[in-house]
A and B are shown apart, each in its own frame.
Chain A
Amino acid sequence: MLKGCVLTPRNQEERVSDSIPRRGTTTMDKIINDFTINIATANGTGSQSANLILLQSLFDMGVPVSGKNLFPSNISGLPTWYIVRLSDLGYQAPGDRTHIQILVNPATWDEDLAAAEPGTVIIWNSDTKKKTVEREDIISYPVPMSSLARKINPKIAKLVTNIVYVGVLAELLDIDQACLESAVARQFKGKESAIELNITALGLGRDYCKENLTKTDPYTTESREVDRPQFFIEGNEAAALGAHYGGVQLLAWYPITPSSSMAENIIAYIPRLRSNDEGEATCAVIQAEDELAAAGMVLGAGWAGGRGMTATSGPGISLMQEFIGLAYFAEVPSVFWDVTRVGPSTGLPTRTQQSDIAMLYEGSHGDTQHIVLIPGTVEECFEYGWRAFDYSERFQTPVFGMSDLDLGMNRWACEGFTYPDIPMDRGKVVREREAFEAFETFGRYLDVDGDGIPYRTLPGSGMAPILYRGTGHNPMGVYSEKPEDYFNLMARLKMKIDGARDELPAPLLREEEECEVGIVFLGSMENSIQEIDDILEQTGMKVSQCRIRALPLHSEVENFIRRHETVIVLEINRDGQLYGILRRELPNDLVTKVHSVAYSDGMPPRARIYAELIQEKLKEVSQ
């Protein structure tokens, strides 16, 4: 059994004991640590650094906080929103509404202002030409951000403007100055002049606020004691580290959002983790000419006896389909990470979705079935980063890691990564002549042990050489079109992957005694599920959770469904792809109580939307 994931660990116990969530902590009229800030900027203006400083300083205060970067598929000048949610309950989904809106981007100004609900705090750059804020029902804080920024350095005023609004927020929300300064230092890693400039700009924002604005809004922050220390990290960096602790020997990749930072982090850690004193590495990196070539290189590595991987997104997996089929049929270990984004086609390249489930599970033409590991936390990104290689070599088959943009590119709290508790599993590879000679008959595709997993020898060994092929073959690896050879081969492959079910990460269960409604979900929905659960339980129902962490389905999934009266399969896509798999694989008597709730608009899952959809579905099926 794998280590259970921790959903926002600081608040889990509190949440479990509370069936009705408290809406933050209210002292007099203050609203503490329970609100959402939306920062509207243009990309390429340096706003990302400012927003990460804000996020990090709140995190360092011990405030449970999450950040979602809604960025465009563009290099510079298009609208970007950064959503910071503070939640003492540990909710990490984007909130239902914006409580504090920062307006610095004239391009979305009117739209963002119009969308603000009454009572919203609007902090706006009063130097913005032709833009103003004239609404009586909101709390308006005009700040001449550009003029303040120009005081520091007119040449980089636009850049500095961003950090000025962080200073204003710091003053309004009572953000700890020491935490702010350490966040600045972390962001600019030792670049003294940048650190100094940003701290000065923060001060200007703070001072302007102190001298010119009167706080009339209820929002504020308070430091929290943190039981277990945590840090912030992106899923892609976590998976990259995991790959290194799995001894990755070849990274072959082609840049694609949102997976590029996984490859780049693998590269970045090679000097530290994978190089000898002479700077020579034990991990090769090749930036391929396209995703087809990247996949081919991964297969070549697996065929030669090494650990190869690629990191890509849905469009890349589409291009890799042919090689995926070859890896399955010729039984070549190979690891593919799919950091999913919104499809079909180019889709919304910088938005999140869980819509590659079916494509990964049954990738390539012909009958296929693949192992898919589905992390829901950064800890699991790390763990599956190394385990993927073990599974792939053990079962001699392609293994997918399925993350998504939300998990991969946003920062999540982490208590630390756990070192692999088992040695690397290199599978059934015959390396020594003596072991080879112990075989009465050696056939590359001969099922000696009855588990469907054959033995292999490696190129260069001189033992049992064969020509690997994507054409039909008999147990000896020789080309064959005989009906019984093809049938037996396909049956063995089916048995082999079936045998992996209970060896893969088991689902993570959080069950109520009552077993009324069970929600089956996967991946980054982890970050919204507790809030969804709490909203539903406010209506009096009892909700259990089952987070699937791998395909093919673990037998515990069936058991969970059997125990519950009604089961909702919740996923971030249109068609209910996971539901489709369950419907097909579950026994008939269970199928009728399983229902699909699938929704996607490109946004990270907002709890209330999914909770309402579940309520509608439950109403519909009870009729």
Chain B
Amino acid sequence: MSDKPARAVKLNVLNEPKDSYTGGPSSLCPGCGHDQISSVIINAAWENGIQPHRIAKMSGIGCSSKTPAYYLGQSHGFNTVHGRMPSVTTGAYAINKDLLYLGVSGDGDSASIGIGQLIHAIRRNMDMVYIVENNGVYGLTKGQYSATADVGSKKKKGTVNETQPIDLCALAINLGCTFVARSFSGSKKQLGSLIKAAMSHKGFALIDVISPCVTFNNNDESMRSYGYVKENEITLHMADYIPHFNPVEEVDVPEGHFRDITLHDGSTIRLETISEQHDPSSPMAALSALHDAEVNAKHVTGLLYFDATKPSLAEDLGLVDEPLLDVPDETLRPSQASLDALNAEFLA
């Protein structure tokens, strides 16, 4: 093997091959949109020329939160507890502000159990990329609705979701989040650009990525899903059988246009890329675009809102220039003289 001539491998600005940015094999359902997002993350980090070990991969609990094992194998990561990734990231950031914090979360993690932590991380304008892999469903517990499920969504067992969804992008814009974008797991090009931009952003960057669940998010068209499987002559008697799907085809919708995308179960979603006339510095324009999309049963994608002027958490903390991690112990511990002085003052 070793005497085979090395094949020319494409390198990034750091002379690193893309292999330096990959992770372990995925254990998600074959065809899962989350895996597509993982590959976009790998690509974005490689193309941005970020040293992989200077990235910290953060996640909570859920299908999405398992994915840090599948990308950036040279980065440390923390798969924390359900909905609490933002706080762990905040604490790590206070100690080492020089790392690039890349958080991956899901809709259960971010819109339900962890919505408070998401809100407060946005409020502090924590320097991090926060990707929500949004499928409207709890996958690991086998298909309960999440708080982002659309009204009228129908589960395999037939119950219809009557509860209004939370739009994380609208929420984030209202909270003054400094980078708010929406994309689709199949839109590699758009998502790649957004993640690369978010990695360069100073402040909190939220990217809500629609990432359909191939297994449980069978909505009103769910019978077609059965039909799809039947057509492929797969027996469906076993309850724990998970059909294999191919990932959703790559989608590239030009600015200002929309396209209907057919999902695994045969249902469609309409994706519209926000027009180039959209002014991302205007929260009103962004909210209006989200509202229009909702009224017209579309999902508007692209960079919705951006503000580079707000100070990030690092500036608010009032710390020394170097990361606290690099402050030597002798500096961290105040001197003997300082304690002697305190004791003397107390006794005076």
Number of A-B contacts (CB under 8 A): 207
Among listed A12-20, A165-173, A284-292, A498-506, interface-contacting one: A284-292
- Given pairs A304-B56, A458-B96, 13 additional interface contacts (CB within 8 A): A231-B347, A245-B339, A279-B318, A284-B324, A293-B86, A296-B86, A296-B87, A297-B87, A299-B88, A301-B92, A460-B98, A465-B75, A467-B77
Q: B residues 40-63 with Cβ under 8 Å of A?
A: 51, 53-54, 56-57
User: Which among B56, B78, B91, B321 has the highest number of chain A CB atoms within 10 Å?
Assistant: B91
Q: Which of B91, B116, B124, B324 contacts A300 (CB 8 A)?
A: B91
Residues of B within 8 A of A72 (CB): none
What are some 30 contacts across the A-B interface (CB < 8 A)?
A230-B347, A247-B332, A276-B320, A280-B320, A282-B320, A284-B324, A285-B317, A289-B116, A290-B116, A296-B86, A297-B88, A297-B90, A300-B91, A301-B91, A303-B88, A304-B92, A304-B99, A305-B325, A306-B96, A307-B332, A416-B343, A419-B339, A423-B329, A424-B332, A424-B333, A458-B76, A461-B76, A466-B76, A467-B76, A471-B79
Which of B329, B334, B336 is within 8 Å of A273, CB to CB?
Answer: B334
Please indicate which of the listed interface residues B53, B77, B119, B346 has the most CB atoms of chain A within 10 Å of its own CB.
B346
Q: Does B319 contact A (CB under 8 A)?
A: yes
Partner among B68, B120, B124, B332 whose Cβ is within 8 Å of the Cβ of A282: B332
Which B residues are CB-close (under 8 A) to A142? Answer: none
CB neighbours (8 Å) of B90 from chain A are 252, 286, 293, 296-297, 300
A467 near B69 with CB under 8 A, answer yes
Q: Which residues of B contact A279 (CB under 8 A)?
A: 318
Which of chain A's residues 410-444 have a Cβ closer than 8 Å to chain B?
A: 414, 416-417, 419-420, 423-424, 426
The smallest beta-carbon distance between B67 and chain A, in angstroms, is 10
A322 nearest in chain B by CB position = B81
Q: In this assembly, does A58 line the interface, its C-beta being within 8 Å of a C-beta of chain B?
A: no
Contact flag A305-B117 (CB < 8 Å), given A245-B334, A282-B327: no
A249 touches B76 (CB 8 A): no
A298 at the interface (CB under 8 A from B): yes
The answer to whether A293 and B324 have CB atoms under 8 Å apart is no
B89 adjacent to chain A (CB < 8 Å): yes
A554 located at the interface, meaning its Cβ lies under 8 Å from any Cβ of chain B in the complex: no
Q: Say if the beta carbon of B338 comes within 8 Å of chain A.
A: yes
Known pairs A282-B327, A282-B332, A460-B54; A465 contacts B74 (CB<8 A): yes
The answer to the question of A250 belonging to the interface, with a C-beta cut-off of 8 Å to chain B, is yes
CA of A467 to CA of B88 in the docked complex: distance in angstroms? 14
Label chain B's interface by main secondary structure.
Answer: helix
Binding site for B on A (CB under 8 A): 229-231, 233, 241, 244-247, 249-250, 252, 272-274, 276, 279-286, 288-290, 292-308, 322-323, 326, 386, 414, 416-417, 419-420, 423-424, 426, 457-462, 465-471, 479
Closest chain-B Cβ to A469's Cβ sits at a distance in Å of 4
| Contacts A244-B334, A308-B95, A459-B92; A293 near B74 (Cβ below 8 A) | no
Interface residues of B (CB under 8 A from A): 51, 53-54, 56-57, 68-69, 73-81, 84, 86-96, 98-99, 116-117, 119-120, 124, 317-321, 324-325, 327, 329, 331-334, 336, 338-340, 342-343, 346-347
| CB-contact partner of A323 in B84, B325, B343, under 8 A | B84
Chain A residues with CB below 8 A from B336, complex form: 419
The answer to whether A467 and B78 touch (CB under 8 A), given A250-B91, A304-B96, A423-B329, is yes
Query: What are the nearest 10 A-B pairs in CB distance?
Result: A300-B91, A296-B87, A247-B332, A306-B95, A297-B91, A462-B53, A459-B76, A300-B92, A304-B95, A304-B92
A279 to B321, CA, bound (A): 11
Are B338 and A273 in contact (CB-based, < 8 A)? yes
State how many angstroms separate the Cβ of A117 from the closest Cβ of chain B.
Answer: 37
Of the candidates B95, B319, B347, the one having the most CB atoms from chain A within 10 angstroms of its own CB is B95
Q: Is the CB of B75 within 8 A of A281?
A: no
**Residues on the A chain within 8 Å of B99, using CB:** 304, 459-460
- CB-defined contacts of B98 to chain A, threshold 8 Å: 460
Tell whether, in the assembled complex, residue A305 and residue B96 are in contact, meaning their CB atoms are under 8 Å apart: yes
Report how far A306 CA is from B92 CA in the complex, Å: 8
Q: A420–B333 Cα gap in the complex (Å)?
A: 9
Contact B96 A297 (CB under 8 A): no
B83, closest chain A residue (CB): A292
Known: A280-B318, A282-B332, A416-B347. A293 touches B120 (CB 8 A): yes
**A249 CB contacts on chain B under 8 angstroms:** 94-95, 324, 327, 332
Question: A279-B318, A289-B117 are known contacts. Are A466 and B77 too (CB-CB below 8 A)?
Answer: yes
Complex CA gap A295/B117 in Å reads: 12
* Neighbouring A residues of B347 by C-beta, 8 Å: 229-231, 416
- Shortest B328–chain A CB gap in Å is 10
Is the CB–CB distance between B91 and A233 below 8 Å? no
> B34 → chain A, closest Cβ, in Å?
16
B77 to A: closest C-beta gap in Å: 4
A296-B87, A460-B54, A468-B79 are known contacts. Are A245 and B92 too (CB-CB below 8 A)? no
Q: In the complex, A462→B53 CA distance in Å? A: 5
Evaluate contact between B94 and A286: CB separation under 8 angstroms. yes
The answer to whether B53 and A465 have CB atoms under 8 Å apart is: yes
Interchain CA distance A446-B73 in the complex, whole Å: 19
The listed residue (A282, A297, A303, A307) touching B331 by CB distance below 8 A is: A282
Shortest beta-carbon distance from B230 to chain A in Å: 34
Report the nearest B residue to A298, measured CB to CB: B91
CB distance from B315 to the nearest CB of A (A): 11
Q: Are B325 and A458 in contact (CB under 8 A)?
A: yes
Task: List, in ascending order, chain B residues with CB within 8 A of A304's CB.
Answer: 56, 91-93, 95-96, 99, 325
**B324 pairs with A292, CB closer than 8 A:** no
| Interface-centre pick from A281, A297, A470 (highest chain B CB count, 10 A) | A297
CB contact between A459 and one of B81, B87, B96, B332 (< 8 Å): that residue: B96
Contacts of A246 in B (CB 8 A): 333
Among B51, B78, B329: residue with most chain A CB under 10 A: B78
A306 close to B324 (CB less than 8 A): yes
CA distance A308 to B124 in the complex (A): 19
**Nearest residue, chain B, Cβ from A288:** B87
Which of chain B's residues have a CB closer than 8 A to the CB of A282?
319-320, 324, 327, 331-332
Question: Within 8 Å CB of A303, what residues of B?
Answer: 78, 88, 91-92
Nearest B residue to A249, CB-CB: B324
Q: Which residues of B contact A288 (CB under 8 A)?
A: 87, 120
Distance to closest chain B CB from A562 (angstroms): 39
Q: Closest chain A residue to B123 by CB distance?
A: A289
CA distance A284 to B73 in the complex (A): 30
CB distance from A587 to the nearest CB of B (A): 38
Residues of B within 8 A of A296 (CB): 80-81, 84, 86-88, 90-91, 117
Residue pair B95, A305 in contact (C-beta under 8 Å): yes
Q: In the assembly, what is the distance between CA of A272 and CA of B51, in Å? A: 38
CB distance from B167 to the nearest CB of A (A): 21
Q: A417-B339, A460-B96 are in contact. Are A470 and B81 (CB under 8 A)?
A: yes
User: Distance (Å) between the CB of A581 and the closest chain B CB?
Assistant: 27
Residues of A contacting B74 in the complex (Cβ-Cβ under 8 angstroms): 462, 465
Q: Which residues of A contact B78 (CB under 8 A)?
A: 300, 303, 467-469
Q: Which residues of B contact A323 (CB under 8 A)?
A: 81, 84
A386 to B332, CA, bound (A): 12
B211 to chain A, nearest CB (A): 20
Residue contact A250 to B95, C-beta cutoff 8 Å = yes
Whole-angstrom distance between the Cβ of B85 and the nearest chain A Cβ? 8
- Give, as a whole number of angstroms, the nearest-CB distance from A396 to chain B: 15
C-alpha gap A326/B60 in the complex (Å): 12
A308 and B91 in contact, given A459-B99, A470-B81 (Cβ under 8 angstroms): yes
Complex Cα gap A111–B332 (Å): 53
With A and B bound together, what is the CA distance between A469 and B93 in angstroms? 18
Please tell me if the beta carbons of B56 and A460 are within 8 angstroms of each other in the complex: yes
Say which residue of A245, A299, A416, A468 sits within 8 Å of B346 (CB atoms).
A416
Min Cβ gap B89→A in Å is 6
Take A297-B90, A306-B325, A308-B95 as given contacts and tell me if A470 and B80 are in contact as well, using a CB distance cutoff of 8 Å.
yes
Asked whether, in the complex, the Cβ of A468 is within 8 Å of the Cβ of B91, the reply is: no
Contact of A247 (CB < 8 Å), options: B93, B333, B343: B333
